[in-house]
Structure 1
Amino acid sequence: MLEVGFETLLLLLAAGFAAGFIDAIAGGGGLITVPVLLLAGANPVTALSTNKIQGLFGAATAAATYARAGHVDLKAQVGPALIAFAAAVAGAFLVAYLPTEWIRVILPVLLIGIAIFFALKKGLDDLDRHRRLSPALFTALIVPLCGAYDGLLGPGAGSFYMLAFVSLAGYGILRATAHTKLLNFASNAGGLLAFSFFATPWWITGLLMGCAQIAGARAGAGLAKKQGAKVIKPLLVVTSVSLAAKLLWDMM
């Protein structure tokens, strides 16, 4: 049975499309969907878990779109994706045991730092550059950290994956964006698995929003493939600052 009324569902579907579009390019779609789910009457835990459901569709669609265009080899990402999945499961189960308030305080600062990095750093384009971590070390250290954060809290996880691929793995902007999607999908799935044990997601609403996410993700990934860093960088800056502002507002 549908958990919301028809008019509310239309609003949630529009939010899902917009989030899929934003997520496919720069991440941060949860900035749109979580507040709308809360407005629709979901409690915070239900909103977060439902957001994981619909987010799976957008991340999977974007990953497949980038893979078909040759920007990422999904088979080579299976190992890192499994690590992100396991880390997200662990992170979600730790919600009840870890003091997450300090993370909520420092997160806006980190997001603003990401925005400043991409806005002011010269030479950031679609060309690869010198990497600071080997692929094995990146997978062993960075992937589980981002995955655990995605399960523990979630907002900004795509931006953190993106920053790591650019600054540590040496990827160009478009390639980095493509490589975040399967990992984001995996950590979303891990977080949802854990949430399903102690939360009550809106499964039907989440699945319907996921259909809208697919359409938005296709449009966003298509634009990113054509424009590359020219569209990804400014959108990443805007979404990071917007998410930081939203988190600061919630703490007031």
Structure 2
Amino acid sequence: MELLIVSLASLLAGLVDAIVGGGGLILLPALFATFPNAAPATLFGTNKSASIWGTAFAAVQYSRKVVMPWRSLLPAAGAGLVGSVIGAWGVTQVDPDLFRKALPIMLAILLVYTVVKKDMGRHHAPRFAGSQEAWVASSIGLTIGFYDGFFGPGTGSFLVFAYVRWMGYDFLNASASAKFINVATNFSALMLFAYQGHVWWHLALLMAISNIVGSLIGTRLALKHGSGFVRQVFILVVLALICKTAYDTWINA
């Protein structure tokens, strides 16, 4: 029964994550509910061991249908990897409690801005080109990569928003680019958890397969229905993140 629960949660998480990010909102609570006595680090590591595969498969699927800006995306992914490592080190030096308290407010601002700006992300009109685009994308990758390593919740949504707001991408292209950066940040976190022995490999394989299946379904839905659909899912996921993080921070603290 435990395997069935976490496998279904992993499938649904992969589906949501492939569209706009936020799969951890589904899979992590399922893991904590199913294994309440497990060390949190082990559940976080096991989550990463599954989600990285779904994100990677989604990235490959997007690259076959969407023109990927490789000249800016590869440096951004590299910067995300570096930022994630720095963030993971930073969390050992500084208490991330301030981030935890501020996160629901940050997400609420992001949500209101997206809802008010109804045309934002509906049309793909990149604002930068060449080396300038690479520098801007790398700055985004480094900053949000640091956040992912330091704290984590909502990383995919922040990446999508950054690409839409500052790079001028539509939601579909932003989601596609975000996947590659997210693979890099997830990889560094997974290596850290694995090195410390915080991964249940006997669950990881089955969860990874389920996550990939969900990811393939989510990617097809996003490619079929386009930016308008991705924008709607983005709003729903961010709203769910606000509710979850606000409850964890202010009510269930």
TM over 0.5, shorter chain: yes
**SS of equivalent to 1:123:** coil
Change (3 A) 1:107 1:148: same
Deviation by residue 1:91-112 (Cα, 9 ceiling, x = unmatched): 1222221120000011111112
The Cα of 1:152 is off from its aligned counterpart by 1.6
Question: TM-score by structure 2 length?
Answer: 0.91
The Cα of 1:115 is off from its aligned counterpart by 1.8
Q: Unpaired segments of 5 or more residues in structure 1? A: 1-6
- The answer to whether the 8 A contact 2:120-2:165 is kept is no
Identity %: 33
- The answer to whether the 8 A contact 1:119-1:234 is kept is no
* Alignment partner, residue 24 of structure 2: 30
Q: Which AA in structure 2 matches 1:213?
A: N
Mapped to 1, the partners of 2:86 and 2:72 lie a distance apart of 23
Indicate the larger mover: 113-122 or 149-158: 113-122
* Alignment partner, residue 4 of structure 1: none
Quick one: which of 7, 11, 27 aligns to 2:5? Answer: 11
* Alignment partner, residue 54 of structure 2: 58
Q: Which AA in structure 2 matches 1:129?
A: A
Mapped to 1, the partners of 2:204 and 2:69 lie a distance apart of 28
Mapped to 2, the partners of 1:162 and 1:128 lie a distance apart of 13
Mapped to 1, the partners of 2:62 and 2:185 lie a distance apart of 18
Q: Does 1:230 align with 2:228?
A: yes
- The answer to whether the 8 A contact 2:85-2:189 is kept is yes
**SS of equivalent to 1:99:** coil
RMSD: 1.8
* Alignment partner, residue 219 of structure 1: 217
Q: Does 1:95 align with 2:81?
A: no
* Alignment partner, residue 116 of structure 1: 112
- The answer to whether the 8 A contact 2:80-2:141 is kept is yes
Mapped to 2, the partners of 1:207 and 1:117 lie a distance apart of 39
Runs of 4+ in 1 over 4 A off after TM superposition: 73-76
The Cα of 1:45 is off from its aligned counterpart by 1.4
Q: Which AA in structure 1 matches 2:58?
A: A
The Cα of 1:238 is off from its aligned counterpart by 1.0
Mapped to 2, the partners of 1:236 and 1:17 lie a distance apart of 18
**SS of equivalent to 1:98:** coil
Q: Which AA in structure 2 matches 1:99?
A: D
**SS of equivalent to 2:95:** coil
Q: Which AA in structure 2 matches 1:31?
A: L
Alignment coverage as a number of residue pairs: 246
Q: Which AA in structure 2 matches 1:69?
A: K
Q: Which AA in structure 2 matches 1:131?
A: R
The Cα of 1:73 is off from its aligned counterpart by 4.8
- The answer to whether the 8 A contact 1:67-1:73 is kept is no
Change (3 A) 1:142 1:73: closer
The Cα of 1:224 is off from its aligned counterpart by 0.5
Mapped to 2, the partners of 1:12 and 1:148 lie a distance apart of 28
Quick one: which of 220, 227, 240 aligns to 2:238? Answer: 240
Indicate the larger mover: 132-141 or 98-107: 132-141
Q: Which AA in structure 1 matches 2:100?
A: R
- The answer to whether the 8 A contact 1:67-1:74 is kept is no
Indicate the larger mover: 99-108 or 146-155: 146-155
* Alignment partner, residue 82 of structure 1: 78
**SS of equivalent to 2:169:** coil
The Cα of 1:90 is off from its aligned counterpart by 2.0
Q: Which AA in structure 2 matches 1:136?
A: A
Mapped to 1, the partners of 2:193 and 2:207 lie a distance apart of 18
Q: Does 1:170 align with 2:168?
A: yes
- The answer to whether the 8 A contact 1:174-1:224 is kept is yes
Deviation by residue 1:162-205 (Cα, 9 ceiling, x = unmatched): 11101111111111111100100110001111223335111221
* Alignment partner, residue 45 of structure 2: 49
